[in-house]
């Protein structure tokens, strides 16, 4: 284990792939613009490809040759750098977590990336092995976890002086070489038993995606498409589009809203299914492993003791049928990391899921709810927003825009729903807070994990003897 090892040889291609990600949009643009490729001979293209590819392959070979990792008795040592050599030692006792990931390039090449995080380290990772065979990545990950646990047990063990007499008697009659062998003998790699706790099919994931609107995924995807299309479309495209849109009647605009909403809904469902494809929750020893992703496959390993909070979210389409989405917040080396635990689960089965994975949490209805005198505080801003929406529609769209005033009853029901769903309770060491913005969210937190509790009161709240509590 003390011999330096190199990454997989396909790591040599990584610099070339990184450059190709920037070149592909340019090639697509040239194809769309109809460039005459036949005016150059084939050997000219072949020479250009060789001259373009060779330097990056050569650079990748140097990077692969100069990158090595060594598994020692108490640390892992990473060495890299072509002109400036860098050596980093990460002691097993300082390892907080190890994450195995398969970004798109690694997944296409059937490789894996290993990230090693330590408390107080960088946001990315303190140590990264970017290209390992999948079997080698699992072996190194298991070795690091085993060594970390052994280091933690040594730190918790009593001082060695208490056992000095036993050690002396054990070593009597042995040569110095035999004593040294006994001290440095590495512990064998213990195979951890894996138990599948949860596995979801693509159909179940897609059904869960259809019952919620994942706007962040749609926004990120739409931004990427817009950035790519901005390079391909002619300069006058947007101005002509806006000019034509201004000539459409108001009824077209009102009809366009539900169509755009439907398209965004379907797109979010597809992106959600791709993001969490192959969703599996396993138990390895005392740790929980969550694996998901079709294009960018990620593996998160954590101890149930590191879970700081659980959030149960009931969307508008899920709540009438008694379904919810469960997420957990896990303490990492820098901050809390939000992870999906189950995308679509009957509410009655939430406690069974929590008992198997994070038994320190239990879903219970909040015992304390807002008094009736607080009802208006939940209604006022919703009603004001509906009035402003109807006024703006009347000013800009005329009589047809006045139909937006019909949202006033809908917004009133929304505000009343927020009032009815608000609540909190403290039972033993478990803090439960329920709140509704659009979806109803129930947060479960252990009281020892609560860092701060803020109480806020506006002048209207003070007049009614009310407070807002945030934890």
pLDDT in tens, 370-390: 999 889 889 989 999 999 998
When pLDDT is averaged across residues 39-54 and rounded to a whole number, the result is 82
Q: Are the CB atoms for 298 and 292 separated by under 8 Å?
A: yes
Query: Residue for token digits 């919703």?
Result: 382
pLDDT over threshold 60, residue 228: no
Output the CA–CA distances (angstroms, integers) from residue 329 to 120, 216, 308, in the order listed.
18, 18, 6
Query: Residue for token digits 């149930």?
Result: 304
Q: Are the CB atoms for 141 and 127 separated by under 8 Å?
A: no
pLDDT value at residue 455: 81
3-state helix, strand, coil in the chain (%, to 5): 50, 25, 25
pLDDT value at residue 184: 41
Q: Are the CB atoms for 418 and 389 separated by under 8 Å?
A: no
Dist CA 206 CA 168 (whole Å) = 65
Q: What is the pLDDT of residues 281-338, one digit of tens each?
A: 988 877 888 998 888 888 888 888 889 999 999 988 888 888 899 999 987 755 668 8
pLDDT value at residue 237: 57
* 3 state SS of 281: strand
pLDDT over threshold 90, residue 38: no
pLDDT, mean over the chain: 80
Residue 177: pLDDT band with limits 50, 70, 90: very low
When pLDDT is averaged across residues 240-249 and rounded to a whole number, the result is 62
When pLDDT is averaged across residues 261-265 and rounded to a whole number, the result is 78
Query: Residue for token digits 């080396």?
Result: 333
Name the packing angle between helices 250-275 and 375-397 (round to 10°): 130
Residue 24: pLDDT band with limits 50, 70, 90: confident
SS (H, E, C) 36-76: CHHHCCHHHHHHHHHHHHHHHHHHHHHHHHHCEEEECCCEE
pLDDT over threshold 50, residue 168: no
Dist CA 143 CA 54 (whole Å) = 37
pLDDT value at residue 161: 46
112-116, 194-198, 393-397: range with highest mean pLDDT: 112-116
Sheet holding 127-133, edge to edge: 127-133, 111-117, 97-102, 297-302, 287-292, 280-284, 194-199
Beta-bridge partner residues of 297: 102
Q: Are the CB atoms for 324 and 347 separated by under 8 Å?
A: yes
Dist CA 191 CA 328 (whole Å) = 27
Dist CA 204 CA 210 (whole Å) = 10
Query: Quick one: 449 exposed, middle or buried, by C-beta within 10 A (0-12, 13-18, 19+)?
Result: middle
Task: Give the residue from 249, 215, 160 showing the smallest Cα distance to 437.
Answer: 215
Dist CA 118 CA 377 (whole Å) = 45
pLDDT value at residue 249: 66
pLDDT value at residue 261: 76
% of the chain at pLDDT higher than 90: 26
Beta-bridge partner residues of 5: 69
Task: Give the residue from 145, 181, 157 showing the smallest Cα distance to 71.
Answer: 145
Indicate the helix (H) or strand (E) that contains 324: strand 323-331
* 3 state SS of 283: strand
Q: Are the CB atoms for 132 and 299 separated by under 8 Å?
A: no
Dist CA 398 CA 100 (whole Å) = 57
pLDDT over threshold 80, residue 95: yes
Following DSSP, what letter does each residue of 330-357 receive, concatenated?
EE-SSSEEEEEEEEEEEGGGHHHHHHHH
pLDDT value at residue 183: 38
Residue 240: pLDDT band with limits 50, 70, 90: low
Dist CA 415 CA 377 (whole Å) = 9
Beta-bridge partner residues of 470: 454
Other CB atoms within 10 A of residue 95 CB = 25
CB proximity list for 279: less than 8 A, separation 6 or greater: 198, 199, 200, 205, 290, 291, 292, 340, 343
Task: Give the residue from 60, 59, 132 showing the smallest Cα distance to 101.
Answer: 132
Task: Give the residue from 378, 410, 380, 407 showing the smallest Cα distance to 392.
Answer: 407
pLDDT value at residue 434: 93
| Torsion of the alpha carbons at 119, 120, 121 and 122, rounded to the nearest 10 | 130
Residue 238: pLDDT band with limits 50, 70, 90: low
When pLDDT is averaged across residues 257-268 and rounded to a whole number, the result is 77
Q: Which two tokens stand for residue 391?
A: 């006024």
| Secondary structure E strands in 7-162 | 68-71, 75-80, 86-91, 97-102, 111-117, 127-133
Beta-bridge partner residues of 445: 309, 431
């Amino acid at each position: 284990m003390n011999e330096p090892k190199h990454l997989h040889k396909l790591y040599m291609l990584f610099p070339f792939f990184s450059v190709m990600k920037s070149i592909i949009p340019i090639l697509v643009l040239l194809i769309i613009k109809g460039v005459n490729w036949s005016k150059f001979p084939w050997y000219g293209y072949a020479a250009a490809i060789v001259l373009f590819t060779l330097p990056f392959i050569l650079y990748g070979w140097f990077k692969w040759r100069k990158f090595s990792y060594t598994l020692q008795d108490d640390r892992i040592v990473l060495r890299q750098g072509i002109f400036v050599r860098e050596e980093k030692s990460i002691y097993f006792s300082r390892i907080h977590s190890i994450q195995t990931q398969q970004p798109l390039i690694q997944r296409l090449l059937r490789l894996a990336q290993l990230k090693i995080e330590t408390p107080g380290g960088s946001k990315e990772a303190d140590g990264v092995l970017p290209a390992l065979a999948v079997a080698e990545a699992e072996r190194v990950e298991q070795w690091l976890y085993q060594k970390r646990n052994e280091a933690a047990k040594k730190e918790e063990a009593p001082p060695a002086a208490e056992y000095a007499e036993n050690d002396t008697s054990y070593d009597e009659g042995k040569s110095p070489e035999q004593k040294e062998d006994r001290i440095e003998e590495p512990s064998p790699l213990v195979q951890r038993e894996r138990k599948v706790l949860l596995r979801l099919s693509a159909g179940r994931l897609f059904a869960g995606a259809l019952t919620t609107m994942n706007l962040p995924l749609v926004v990120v995807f739409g931004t990427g498409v817009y950035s790519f299309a901005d390079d391909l479309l002619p300069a006058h495209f947007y101005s002509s589009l806006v000019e034509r849109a201004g000539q459409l009647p108001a009824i077209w605009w009102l009809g366009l809203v539900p169509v755009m909403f439907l398209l965004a809904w379907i797109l979010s469902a597809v992106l959600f299914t791709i993001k969490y494809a192959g969703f599996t929750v396993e138990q390895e020893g005392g740790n929980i492993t969550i694996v998901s992703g079709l294009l960018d496959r990620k593996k998160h390993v954590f101890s149930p003791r590191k879970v700081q909070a659980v959030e149960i979210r009931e969307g508008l389409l899920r709540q009438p049928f008694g379904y919810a989405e469960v997420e957990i917040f896990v303490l990492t080396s820098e901050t809390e990391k939000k992870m999906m635990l189950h995308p679509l689960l009957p509410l009655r089965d939430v406690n069974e899921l929590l008992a198997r994975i994070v038994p320190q949490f239990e879903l219970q209805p909040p015992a304390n709810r807002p008094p009736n005198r607080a009802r208006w505080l939940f209604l006022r801003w919703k009603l004001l927003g509906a009035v402003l929406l109807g006024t703006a529609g009347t000013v800009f769209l005329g009589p047809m825009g006045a139909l937006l005033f019909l949202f006033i009853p809908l917004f009133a029901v929304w505000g009343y729903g927020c009032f009815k769903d608000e609540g909190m309770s403290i039972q033993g060491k478990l803090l439960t807070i329920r709140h509704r913005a659009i979806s109803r969210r129930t947060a479960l937190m252990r009281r020892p994990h609560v860092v701060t509790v803020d109480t806020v009161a506006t002048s209207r709240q003070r007049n009614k003897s009310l407070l807002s509590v945030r934890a």
